[in-house]
């Protein structure tokens, strides 16, 4: 490595092959994409494709035959039938109420457990940390 001097007398290292680092970084980036691309393809095939296919099937009329199934017409009639169904409304109402009640019970039980397990220690820490009478 050679050194160069400036007019102020400060010694600075001379740049050695300035474009070499950029080429190395690009090669590392290509190598990284080469290693991650198969994983990204598998993730896409296993998660994203089934979700998209389910959405397409939900918007279509599906006819099941002996040799498979056939998608015909992309409409929202399935969702119209669903929204106007009394069973769906009951299931949605039950799910929302059940979720609210169970989350509230879990929060209350968690606070009660926290108070019984850590209550003494928390009160002692608060007392010790207070500055006391001034």
Q: Are residues 24 and 42 in the same domain?
A: yes
Residue 21 confidence class, pLDDT cut points 50, 70, 90? confident
Q: Which of 42-51, 97-106, 111-120 comes out lowest in average pLDDT?
A: 111-120
Domain membership of residue 6 (yes or no) is no
74 and 115 share a domain?
A: no
pTM above 0.85, yes or no: no
Question: Which is more confident, 109 or 116?
Answer: 109
Angstrom distances, CA of residue 31 to CA of 42, 88, 101, 112: 18, 51, 51, 53
pLDDT (0 to 100) of residue 130 = 64
Q: Does residue 122 belong to any structural domain of this protein?
A: yes
* Strands (E) located in the chain: 3-5, 11-13, 60-65, 68-74
Residue 1 lies in a domain: no
Q: Is residue 119 part of a domain?
A: yes
State how many domains the chain has. 2
* CA dist 99 → 75, 107, 113 (Å): 32, 12, 21
Residues 73, 91, single domain; the answer is: no
- Which one has a higher pLDDT value, 53 or 133? 53
Judge if 78 and 125 occupy the same domain: no
- pLDDT-based confidence at residue 19 (cuts at 50, 70, 90): low
Q: How far apart are CA 91 and CA 127, in angstroms?
A: 50
Q: Which domain holds residue 99?
A: 85-129
């Amino acid at each position: 490595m050679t050194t160069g001097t400036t007019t102020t007398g400060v010694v600075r290292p001379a740049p050695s092959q300035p474009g070499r680092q950029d080429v190395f970084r690009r090669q590392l980036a290509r190598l990284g994409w080469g290693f991650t691309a198969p994983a990204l393809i598998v993730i896409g095939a296993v998660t994203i494709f089934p979700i998209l296919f389910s959405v397409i099937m939900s918007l279509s009329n599906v006819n099941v035959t002996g040799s498979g199934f056939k998608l015909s017409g992309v409409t929202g009639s399935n969702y119209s039938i669903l929204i106007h169904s009394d069973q769906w409304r009951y299931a949605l109402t039950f799910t929302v109420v059940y979720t609210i009640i169970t989350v509230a019970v879990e929060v209350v039980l968690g606070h009660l457990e926290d108070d019984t397990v850590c209550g003494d220690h928390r009160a002692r820490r608060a007392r010790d940390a207070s500055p006391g009478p001034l």
